[in-house]
Amino acid sequence: MNKIFITSSGTEIGKTFITTSLIKDLKKENYTVSALKPILTGFNEKEVSKSDSALLLEAMGLEVSIENISKITPWRYKEPLSPNIAAELENKPILFNELIDFSLSGTDEDLTLIEGIGGVMVPINNKITVIDWIKAIEIPIILVVGTYLGSLSHSLTAIKCLKSKNIKIIGIVVNESYSQPMSKEKTAKTISELTGSIPITTIPRIVDNKKMPNLIPLIKDYI
């Protein structure tokens, strides 16, 4: 039962996009795959189809229903804020042990992908951040970063934090940003020069009929 955690240097960088692409690539090659998005903020019960959880269910080929969403996303909050604050507003704190148990719960699939929330240091409650969550479950990660101006510092900060906790980084996905895009190749080269031997893949902005590159080579040793 293999698991990979998808995290990022921030929000809106492409975690869901990369996770759904991976699910589709894996299914095409006849792997069985499931995905979890344990914590979701900004969740509107009346507009579920746009939520990350709905996109993951769709990619898995499952019906987008509240029942299925609650199975992959037990912690759902209305306000589009960091989990600690959104949870406090609803008086529904995220208990670390419950989050760990859920993240480690077993499935029969070849691979389970877990999408984090926001960047690596987003607070989950008033004691822990995403990086503590990853460290506790000891699941290797893919780090998704952007190519917007400022991304290099965000990316290098995230990598330094992950390395300081000895978290296994399977690979880095440099995902071309919508605004202020810099060259994804130069972004990847700079990150590589400053961080060493982590495999890096670049993904263009997928517009019109541009083909999404297959992401399986990045994770082939983990399935």
CB neighbour burial string for 146-174, b if at least 16 within 10 angstroms, e if fewer: bbbeebbebbbebbebbeeeebebbbbbb
Whether residue 37 lies in the annotated active site: yes
Of 86, 87, 176, 187, the residue at the interface with ligand ADP (CB under 6 A) is 176
Of 36, 40, 52, 187, the residue at the interface with Mg ion (CB under 5 A) is 52
What is the footprint of ligand ADP within residues 203-222 (CB under 6 A)? 203, 205-206
CB of 210 to ligand ADP, least distance (A): 8
- The verdict on 90 binding ligand ADP (CB under 6 A) reads no
Q: Which residues pair with 114 in a beta bridge?
A: 5, 36
- The verdict on 41 binding Mg ion (CB under 5 A) reads no
Q: Which residues pair with 142 in a beta bridge?
A: 6, 171
In sequence order, the 6+-apart residues with CB closer than 8 A to the CB of 55 are 16, 20
CB of 8 to ligand ADP, least distance (A): 5
- Count residues binding Mg ion (CB under 5 A): 3
Residue 152: closest CA among 197, 182, 178:
182
Residue 25: closest CA among 88, 131, 107, 111:
111
Q: What are phi and psi of 105, to 5 degrees?
A: -60, 145
Q: Which is nearer to ligand ADP, 152 or 203 (CB)?
A: 203
One of 27, 37, 46, 127 is an active-site residue; which one?
A: 37
Give me the active site residues, please.
37
Interface residues toward ligand ADP, by CB under 6 A: 8, 11-17, 175-176, 203, 205-206
